[in-house]
Amino acid sequence: ENQFLTLCYGLLKERRVECRRNGGWSVEELKWLRREFERYIPSGKSYVANKDLIRLLQDILPQMSRDPLFRPELRAILRQVEVESTGKLGFSKYLTFLQLCRSAKEKSVARRQQAAVEEVGFNQIELQELRDLFLAVAARPTCITCEEVWKLINSTTPLGHGLTVELQQIFNEQLMTRSDVHEPPEQALDFADFLRLMRRLMDMNFAKLA
């Protein structure tokens, strides 16, 4: 198996071990999930069904539930937790459903990152360095904004107004072609597209990065 995929999965391992005692969720997550789930339960019931179930899925998984490419996988997960046959979703099955969605999402992230690695041609040392920089500068571990990329580059090569404007333009172009349709906010890139951005910046020797 590719070493970079092993690295990607390894980054998730520590969190999984931490949460294993609670079925994959931290105590805080369980409390929040219970509160959110109970908002959709009809009075006197212990499960979500029909229109409330659709509304719950759209609110909890807005991108995934509306993405036509993910719809077959979403339906398969619903069948796995027996929602399609019963039309009902209790809290324990709700947790199982979210775990399966999270697992599917992690696999999708790993596949996208592997495709990006093959495309950009960085070696393992360069990939590790870029991963470390990404995690060090990004406020969220899953995505990075243009401002954060600017801070990363500006820390070694001061960027004046002209280069700042050029970086924003290049970043916006990468936003238009980004590979992840599920998670990052509209103005952020995931790690796979961050690699593509850095490859482009280095190829053009932006701010003498190369």
Model confidence pLDDT, tens digit, residues 72-119: 777 888 788 877 567 778 888 888 888 888 788 778 778 888 888 899
pLDDT band of 1, cuts 50, 70, 90: very low
Given this model, what pLDDT does residue 161 score? 93
Q: What is the pLDDT of residues 120-169, one digit of tens each?
A: 999 988 999 898 989 888 888 888 999 999 998 888 888 999 999 999 99
Q: What is the pLDDT of residues 19-76, one digit of tens each?
A: 555 556 777 888 888 888 888 888 878 888 878 888 888 887 776 777 776 777 778 8
pLDDT band of 17, cuts 50, 70, 90: low
DSSP 183: S
Give the number of other Cβ atoms within 10 Å of residue 84's Cβ: 12
Given this model, what pLDDT does residue 24 score? 65
pTM over 0.75: no
Given this model, what pLDDT does residue 88 score? 79
Number of helices (H), then strands (E), in the chain: 11, 4
Cβ atoms of 195 and 118 closer than 8 Å? no
Residue 205 three-state SS: coil
Tokens of 33: 């999930």
Give the number of other Cβ atoms within 10 Å of residue 69's Cβ: 10
Given this model, what pLDDT does residue 54 score? 81
